[in-house]
Amino acid sequence: MRLANSFRDLEVYKLSRQLSKEIFGISKSFPKEEIYSLTDQVRRLSRSIGAQIAEAWAKRRYEKHFISKLTDSDGEQQETQHWIEVAYDCNYISEYDMNIYLEKCMSIGKMLNSMMTKSKQFCTSKT
């Protein structure tokens, strides 16, 4: 039984896109001098979470590749957490916003880890 027909059906993918959209919105208020460092980094990394999930889905024929891409996605979400904390340290976002985004990242991380643990459910079904 297939759990999803497409990576777009995965809740973790939907949440990662939403997080990326929210980070893009809030990063618009970052100072111009941050455009090629903090702003670019946090936007790129948050967008990469979903991209890695999509790539993992494409590679699910091979369980080790599937897990590897999900691991990459988890790494991107953890690095996103770092840059969110840097934005807070620089007073670009509030502590409240930082905590909201960190919680969303950690929730995505938990879902990714669950998918890795249950990888056979995603990789064994062939249609």
Q: All domains of the chain, ordered by start, with CATH?
A: 7-119 (1.20.1440.60)
Backbone phi, psi, residue 73, to 5°: -60, -40
Instruction: For 46-62, write each residue's pLDDT tens digit.
Output: 999 999 999 999 999 99
Residue 72, burial from CB neighbour count under 10 angstroms (0-12, 13-18, 19+): middle
CA-CA distance, 106 to 112, in Å (whole number)? Answer: 10
Q: What is the pLDDT of residues 77-117, one digit of tens each?
A: 999 999 999 999 999 999 999 999 999 999 999 999 999 99
